[in-house]
Amino acid sequence: MDFTDYPFLNIIWTFFIIFVWIAWFMLLFRIIADVFRRHDIGGGAKAAWTIFVIFLPLIGSLIYLITQGGSMATRDLEQAKAAQEQMDAYIRDRAGSAGGGAAHEIEKAKALLDSGAIDQAEFAQIKARALA
């Protein structure tokens, strides 16, 4: 095929069609994912929405977006907050089990110094290593 036989506007139109097609599938996947992560409806309602969206995609998607669009955003926000809280808890757990940083190391060394297990030189060495 010679590229001069395919006008520039046809190329633009082809790119537009591909873009719309990909966006359409992204919307369908997002709707189906939202249906299955919902906790406020049962399995029958989930199956009905899925069948409706698969067999009548345009009408089913529009009806779902019109009736459930606001709650989709709320569920997305709740999921993002839960993921952030889980990540924060994980980071706090890892930071706490790793020794708590320099202040924790110095505190442990000070306790050892006060108990007489180490002398002042060893305390200074531990403190310098913790701060480095």
- Kindly report the pTM of this predicted structure: 0.60
The pLDDT value recorded for residue 132 is: 73
Same domain for 73 and 62: yes
Q: For 52-62, how does the pLDDT look when each residue is reduced to its tens digit (9 = 90+)?
A: 999 999 999 99
Asked whether residue 66 falls in the same domain as residue 104, the answer is: no
46 with 87, same domain? yes
Say yes or no: 132 and 118 in one domain.
yes
Task: Pick 58 or 98 by higher pLDDT.
Answer: 58
pLDDT at 108: 87
Q: Which domain holds residue 65?
A: 3-98
Same domain, residue pair 106 and 125? yes
Q: What is the DSSP letter of 120?
A: H
Give tens-digit pLDDT for 104-122.
Answer: 788 888 888 898 888 898 8
Question: In sequence order, what are the residues at sequence separation of 6 or more whose Cβ sits closer than 8 angstroms to the Cβ of residue 32?
Answer: 50, 53
Q: Are residue 67 and residue 14 in the same domain, yes or no?
A: yes
For residue 49, give every residue at least 6 positions away whose Cβ sits within 8 Å of its Cβ, in sequence order, or none. Answer: 35, 41, 60, 64
pLDDT given at position 96: 61
Task: Looking at the structure, tell me whether residues 78 and 18 fall in a common domain.
Answer: yes
**What six digits make up the tokens of 39?**
């906790």
* Same domain, yes or no: 69 and 57: yes
**What percent of the chain is predicted at pLDDT more than 90?**
52
> C-alpha distances in angstroms, 129 versus 56, 63, 84, 94, 109?
67, 64, 33, 21, 11
Number of domains in the chain: 2
26 and 58 together in one domain: yes
Average per-residue pLDDT for the chain: 88
Cβ-based neighbours of 72, under 8 Å, separated by 6 or more? 34, 65
Q: Which pLDDT band holds residue 2 (cuts at 50, 70, 90)?
A: low
35 and 18 belong to one structural domain: yes
Does 51 lie in the same domain as 112?
no
